[in-house]
A and B are shown apart, each in its own frame.
Chain A
Amino acid sequence: DIQMTQSPSSLSASVGDRVTITCRASQSISSYLNWYQQKPGKAPKLLIYAASSLQSGVPSRFSGSGSGTDFTLTISSLQPEDFATYYCQQSYSTLATFGQGTRLEIK
């Protein structure tokens, strides 16, 4: 199975900060990488697909980049509603796998 490792596992930041979350795959996955946001008690929500494509309706302060094994999710200016847990997920393999998650907290 392809292992996905996110860093950091948790992060404290303030409204207005620029934040970057990293996801590393155990082997090359080209651009088969998606990012999701999950708030407590809610289902995950798709933010970015195919490494860098913004899902319809998602604010433009979210962006994704990378290919191969290293990927990043960037939030350009944190808003109060962005405090949540973020997951990366690879779809290169027929057996999808997620990163362990990054919890973004208010400083």
Chain B
Amino acid sequence: EVQLVESGGGLVQPGGSLRLSCAASGFTFSSYSMNWVRQAPGKGLEWVSYISSSSSTIYYADSVKGRFTISRDNAKNSLYLQMNSLRDEDTAVYYCARDSETGTPYSWFDPWGQGTLVTVSS
């Protein structure tokens, strides 16, 4: 069974840092690009960041560029999101999501993890 499990969320003060992890299983992790998507309480979905299968290509949403860093360890089947200089508006559930298989012309997110809640508050 394909599974993604996020961890690392919690309460952090404004200006603080947090590192999220996403453990993948049930598929060849090194063959897929990965994404982080977040959802503020009661709000819609916001794409945060993308990393290609080999880590050679990385993208960020403007709202997190310069503060967040996406990375992966294919040997450990794990995806990470290092979040620095956190702001109140970064409060959200953070999901990791697998991209479509490398080589397909279209891109979509499937499956998604269950999410981990990050709360930025003093």
Task: Compute how far the CA of A34 lies from the CA of B44 in the bound complex, rounded to whole angstroms.
Answer: 15
A98-B44 CB under 8 A given contacts A34-B109, A46-B108, A89-B109: yes
CA distance A94 to B51 in the complex (A): 11
Q: Tell me if A31 and B106 are in contact (CB < 8 A).
A: yes
**Contact partners of A100 in chain B: CB under 8 A:** 44
A62 to B114 CA separation, bound complex (whole angstroms): 24
Main secondary structure, interface of A, reads loop
| Mask of B32-45 contacts with A, CB within 8 angstroms, 1/0 | 00010100000011
What is the CA–CA distance of A101 and B39 in the complex, to the nearest angstrom?
A: 12
Which residues does chain A contribute within 8 Å of B47, judged by CB atoms? Answer: 89, 95-98
Is A71's beta carbon under 8 Å from chain B?
no
A-B contact count (CB 8 A): 63
Residues of B within 8 A of A81 (CB): none
Chain B, interface residues (CB within 8 Å), range: 20 to 34
Cβ contact within 8 Å between B106 and A32: yes
Q: Which single member of B44, B59, B95, B100 contacts A49 (CB below 8 Å)? A: B100
> Are B95 and A43 closer than 8 Å at their CB atoms?
yes
Of residues 28 through 74 on chain A, the ones whose CB sits less than 8 Å from some CB of chain B are 31-32, 34, 36, 38, 42-46, 49-50, 55
* Contact across chains for B107 and A91 when beta carbons are under 8 A apart: yes
Listed in ascending order, the chain B residues whose CB lies under 8 Å from chain A are: 35, 37, 44-47, 50, 59, 61-62, 95, 100, 106-115
Q: A49-B100, A96-B47 are in contact. List 17 more A-B contacts (CB 8 A).
A: A32-B107, A34-B108, A36-B45, A43-B112, A43-B115, A44-B37, A44-B95, A44-B112, A46-B108, A46-B109, A49-B108, A50-B108, A87-B44, A89-B45, A94-B59, A95-B59, A96-B35
Binding site for B on A (CB under 8 A): 1, 31-32, 34, 36, 38, 42-46, 49-50, 55, 87, 89, 91, 94-101
